[in-house]
Amino acid sequence: MSSTIFAGRFGIAHGAASVFVPRLSLAKDGVFYLHMIVVSYILLVLAAVMESFASIRLSIDEPYDSTGVAVRRLADSVASEAYTLDEILVTGTRVPHTAALSALPVSVAGKADLARTNAVSLAEALSSLPGIFIKNYGGVSGLKTIAQRGLGAEHTVVLLNGMRISNVQNGLVDLGLIGIDEVERLEVLRGGQSASFGADAVAGIVNAVTTAPGDEHVTVTSSVGSFGYRRYSIGVGGKVTDALSAHATYRDERGDENYPFLFRNGEQRFELVRQNADFTSRVGTLRTDVQFDERLHLSLFGRTFTSKRGVGGPVVGPASVSVARQNDDDHLLQLMVKSENVPLGYHLGMQFHYSYQRYEDRAFIIGASALDNFSKILDYRIEPGVLYALGEATRVALGGEFAHTAGRGNVLASDLRRVTSALYVAGQQRMIAPSNLLSGVWLYPALRFDAIRTGTETLTNFSPQLGAVCTFRGIGGVVSPTLRASVSRNFRAPTFNELSYAGGGGIGNPRLQPERSTSVDVGLDLAVSLFGRHLLQVSYFDIAMRDRIVWVSAGGFGVTPRNVRRVRTNGVELTYRWLFFEEQLSVGINYTSLAARKTEADSPSDRNPHAHLIYIPQEAAQYTAAYRCALGDGVFREVGAALSVAYVGFRYTSEDNQKFLPSYAVAEMNLRLGLAIAGLAVDVRFDVNNVFDKEYQSVPGYPMPLRSYRAACNITF
């Protein structure tokens, strides 16, 4: 407590902690603010130097708007090959801006990008992006969670249409339960963003934007595939009036998931079949958009989802059998009003979200009862905000996030309620006017205050962030570089399980403090026009985390979570795409190399003070080659094909880093054909997953399917 300071930047010692003052230590905050100063300084000096050279460079006469870049909102099919970063609007930010102006690395995948993959859910779509590893517990029905930048699923905030859907109970979102056909656009902003999104935005955020109503249409889709996979969906949408449009969908998906796999024990080789991994899910959505005028827009989105599935469990021997079952229900209603008036726009988001999970295992009997756990989470939230343009160079977003979350379950010691109140301010400031060389230099300061009351405990946190972007006009008409940097303080709030678990074998800790971290990002984007078009994005990140929550022994017969661990993850992410042959062909590479290590011992008896974190690959890459060609107005409209190979490096599976799961490379391919038959648009595709029959596991004990096939037909009236 004696090291608490009133306000870090002033360095004034203060004896008593205030609930409104973050508990920051002098030394750590000194480093943090030093980072901020250095990042700002480098960007400004670099910009000034480049500015001074501007007069001797070639003048490229490009049109640009008041923010210095060409901002074009794309109605649909964003992020296809034809668009560049400066044309892609990133909506999952407090101050909307284009991808080219993001201080943090952004990946945006639109319908066209998603169609190139064999993804059926968010999990597969995300797995192809840099910095992201999906912990896949096998097949379509297995749990799939995100591990971004070497951290856990609880360190990434998942948003749907910009509003949080991450589960407070366990911090997870099963990304396999959100179908890719529900998503029009996927945005991933890597790097800490608690200054905008509050708790848990430590490794980054994922924002899935649902499909907007388009022109009148009826779409029927049917998919069949290996291991009893069936998927049927229907979508109806269009304009009801000039102002009102709607889009409704229903999908039924199921599978037996009885896929063959190999289990090896030394020289012994067992050909087994996955059991108890069948699933059935149904989802219905309705989105209604009302365009009151050119700038005022209302959107109502509802989603109801239910799923029943077997939990195959880990395969640790030929006799591994599971009878566990899991049910998931998830119901969500969102209302969003948005005014894009200039200079003052506003938005109001409201969300009701109910999720229910039940896990039962008749073969796991403790005392007289079989394992039968359930949890119910009811979350209401309201997120108002304004966006104000202060002249041409400055935009400021002010807003709040107010949420009430109630949790019930038989693994919690008692019902829990969490009330989140947060205020944020975020800005975009152009520092240097455009010139012949420079498009501009932008600063992105942001600050957010969170007060999170769970039960009787309240945690408060200030999250500052400073980002900077320096964009250049095309050098020699060939190379267009952008430099970006960001430094931020972030935090993760303990989950309900961590605070109040009482399900046997352990006990929650209501006095947990939030995990706190400092993130630094530096990156370069390059667009090169030479033998086609090349888009390169390179990012370095460094996350230093303290007070990481780890379940440790609690005495007696259980474990309890405590803030004991210090972790540092750092690495490089690279994204490269090369478009050529009139952009019909594209070749892409995503590559990530990272280190995620403990930086000191968890306890005096900890023998592995600097070990790598388990289950985290230190290296991942994906190579993609895609072809798409419009064939004209005849029966054959379009043909496309894609081949990708995903490589995941070895992952340590023991705390002492003595055991590991081997690396693997898995290929997938697809062939797509667009037809026009009797006035109908017919899209057919054929997917092959795990083309080379690779035997592999993403998570130890959870075998992945060998080669599998899927065929789909989509008819739009």
Partner 1 sequence: MHSRVYLAVLLLLVVAACKKDPVTPPDGLIVQPVVKAVYVLNEGDFSDPTGARLTVYDVEKDTVYRDVYEAANNGSHLGNVGDDMKFYNGKAYIVMSGSRNLIVMNLSTHRKELEVSFPGSAVHDLLIDSVRSRLYVTRLFSSSVYVLNLSSLALIDSILVGANPQGMALSGNKVFICNSGYGSDSTVTVVDATTLRAVATIRVADGPTGAAVASDGKVWVVCTGNAFAPSPTKGKIFVVDPTTLTKTDSIRFTENLWGSIVMSQDGYAYVLGTTSGSFFGGPVHRISVSSKTVALNFITGTYYGLGYDDVAREIYVSDVREFSGNGDVKIYTNAGALRRTFSAQKGPAVFGFKR
Tell me: does residue 676 bind partner 1 (CB under 8 A). Answer: no
- Cβ 312 to partner 1 shortest distance, Å: 13
Tokens of 62: 């490009």
Binding mask 552-571 for partner 1 (x = CB under 8 A): xxxxxxxx------------
Report in angstroms how near the CB of residue 365 gets to partner 1 at its nearest.
5
Q: According to the binding rule CB under 8 A, does residue 270 interact with partner 1? A: no
Q: Which of 607, 633, 634, 679 binds partner 1 (CB under 8 A)?
A: 607
By CB under 8 A, is residue 662 in contact with partner 1?
A: yes
CB of 267 to partner 1, least distance (A): 5
Least distance CB 321 / partner 1 (angstroms): 4
Query: Min. distance of Cβ 242 from partner 1 in angstroms?
Result: 49
Closer residue to partner 1 (CB): 476 or 555? 555
Whole-Å CA distances, 33 to 144, 156, 267, 618, 699: 37, 24, 57, 29, 38
Instruction: In whole angstroms, give the CA distance from residue 437 to residue 689.
Output: 46
What residues are paired with 491 via a beta bridge? 516
Using CA atoms, how far apart are residues 108 and 120, in angstroms rounded to an integer? Answer: 17
Question: Between residues 290 and 665, which has the closer beta carbon with respect to partner 1?
Answer: 665
Q: Among residues 348 and 536, whose Cβ is nearest to partner 1?
A: 536
Name the minimum Å distance from CB 611 to partner 1: 8
Q: How far apart are CA 208 and CA 159, in angstroms?
A: 6
Q: How far apart are CA 694 and CA 648, in angstroms?
A: 13
Cβ proximity to partner 1: between 384 and 701 the closer is: 701
**Nearest-10 Cα torsion for 170, 175, 176, 179:** 140
φ and ψ at 334, to 5 degrees?
-125, 140
The rounded radius of gyration (Å) of the Cα atoms in the chain is 25
According to CB under 8 A, which one of 658, 692, 693, 716 is a site residue for partner 1?
658
Is 271 an interacting residue with respect to partner 1 (CB under 8 A)? Answer: no
CB atoms within 10 A of CB 654: 12
- Of 129 and 283, the one with the shorter C-beta distance to partner 1 is 129
Distances from the Cα of 28 to the Cα of 8, 81, 304, 602, 614, angstroms: 10, 43, 45, 19, 26
Query: Shortest distance, CB of residue 82 to partner 1, whole angstroms?
Result: 19
Q: How far is the CB of 188 from partner 1 (least distance, A)?
A: 21
Cα 662 versus chain centre, distance: 25
612: DSSP letter:
B
What is the spatial order of strands in the sheet that 106-110 belongs to?
Answer: 106-110, 183-190, 204-210, 156-160, 163-164
Choosing from 234, 290, 296, 323, the residue that interacts with partner 1 (CB under 8 A) is 323
Minimum distance between the CB of residue 574 and partner 1, rounded to whole angstroms?
9
| Spatial CA neighbour of 309 closest among 174, 410, 120 | 174
591 three-class SS = strand
Residue with smaller CB distance to partner 1, 112 or 699: 699
> Going residue by residue from 499 to 518, which x/- string records binding to partner 1, judged by CB under 8 A?
-----x--x-----------
Taking the least distance from each CB to partner 1, the nearer of 139 and 506 is 506
Smaller CB separation from partner 1, 265 or 456: 265
Count of chain residues binding partner 1 (CB under 8 A) = 62
- State yes or no: residue 269 binds partner 1 (CB under 8 A): no
Counting Cα atoms < 13 Å in the Cβ hemisphere of 158 gives 23
In this chain, which of 4, 91, 436, 663 binds partner 1, going by CB under 8 A?
Answer: 663
CA–CA dist 132, 126 (Å, integer) = 7
String of contacts with partner 1 for each residue 303-322, x by CB under 8 A: -----------xxxxxxxx-
Q: Is 30 left (phi over 0), alpha (psi -120 to 50) or beta?
A: alpha
Q: Contact region for partner 1 (CB under 8 A) — 189-197, 217-225, 266-274, 344-352?
A: 266-274
Instruction: Tell me if 587 contacts partner 1 by CB under 8 A.
Output: yes
In DSSP notation, 479-543 reads: EEEEEEEEEEEEEEPPPHHHHHB-SSSB---TTPPPEEEEEEEEEEEEEEESSSEEEEEEEEEEE
| Interaction between residue 479 and partner 1 (CB under 8 A) | no
Q: Single out the residue of 366, 391, 456, 678 in contact with partner 1 (rule: CB under 8 A).
A: 366
The residue among 525, 500, 528, 529 whose CA lies nearest residue 512 is 500
Nearer to partner 1, 75 or 366 (CB): 366
Rounded-to-integer distance, Cα 118 and Cα 614, Å? 28
Q: To which residue do tokens 């609690």 refer?
A: 554
Query: What's the CA gap between 455 and 665, in Å, rounded?
Result: 47
Q: Which amino acid is at 95?
A: V
- Number of neighbouring beta carbons within 10 Å of residue 141: 29
**Listed residue (119, 137, 126) closest to 698, CA to CA:** 137
CA distances from 310 to 53, 68, 307, 361, 463 (A): 64, 53, 10, 10, 41
- Per CB under 8 A, the segment of 74-82, 92-100, 222-230, 551-559 that binds partner 1 is 551-559
Our finding on whether 15 is near partner 1 (CB under 8 A) is no
What is the smallest separation between the CB atom of 628 and partner 1, expressed in angstroms?
18
Piece of the chain touching partner 1 by CB under 8 A; list 392-400, 546-554, 681-689, 708-716? 546-554
Question: Can you tell me the distance from the alpha carbon of 15 to that of 143, in angstroms, rounded to the nearest whole number?
Answer: 47
Nearer to partner 1, 69 or 315 (CB): 315
Residue placing its CB nearer to partner 1 in the complex, 398 or 552: 552
Q: Provide, rounded to whole angstroms, the least separation between the CB of residue 243 and partner 1.
A: 50
Among 399, 649, 674, 705, binds partner 1 (CB under 8 A): 649
One of 453, 701, 707, 713 touching partner 1 (CB under 8 A): 701
Site string for partner 1, 57-96 (x = CB under 8 A): ----------------------------------------
Q: Which of residues 368, 476, 634, 679 is near partner 1 by CB under 8 A? A: 368
In the complex with partner 1, the residue whose CB is nearer, 392 or 656, is: 656
The DSSP letter of residue 138 is: S
Tell me whether residue 45 or residue 316 sits nearer to partner 1 (CB atom): 316
Nearer to partner 1, 2 or 605 (CB): 605
Contacts of 320 (CB under 8 A, 6+ apart): 313, 314
Please list every residue from 336 through 365 that binds partner 1, using CB under 8 A.
Answer: 363-365
Indicate whether 481 belongs to the interface with partner 1 (CB under 8 A): no
Of 206, 205, 227, give the one whose Cα is nearest residue 274: 227
Instruction: Measure the CA angle with vertex 453, ends 449 and 456; round to 5°.
Output: 145
How many other C-beta atoms are found inside a 10 Å radius of the C-beta of residue 530? 9
- Indicate whether 532 belongs to the interface with partner 1 (CB under 8 A): yes
72 touches 98 (CB < 8 A):
no
Asked if 476 touches partner 1 (CB under 8 A), the answer is no
Percent of the chain that is helix, strand, coil (3-state, to 5)? 10, 55, 35
Q: Which is nearer to partner 1, 542 or 655 (CB)?
A: 655
Name the residue nearer to partner 1 (CB basis): 436 or 653: 653
Closest separation in Å from C-beta 282 to partner 1: 30
CA-to-CA distance for 141 and 328, rounded, in angstroms?
12
CB 665 within 8 A of CB 641: no
Under DSSP, the state recorded for 76 is: S
Residues binding partner 1 (CB under 8 A) = 263, 265-268, 314-321, 323, 363-368, 504, 507, 531-532, 552-559, 576, 578, 580, 587, 589, 591, 593, 603, 605-608, 618-619, 621, 623, 647, 649-650, 653-656, 658-660, 662-663, 700-701
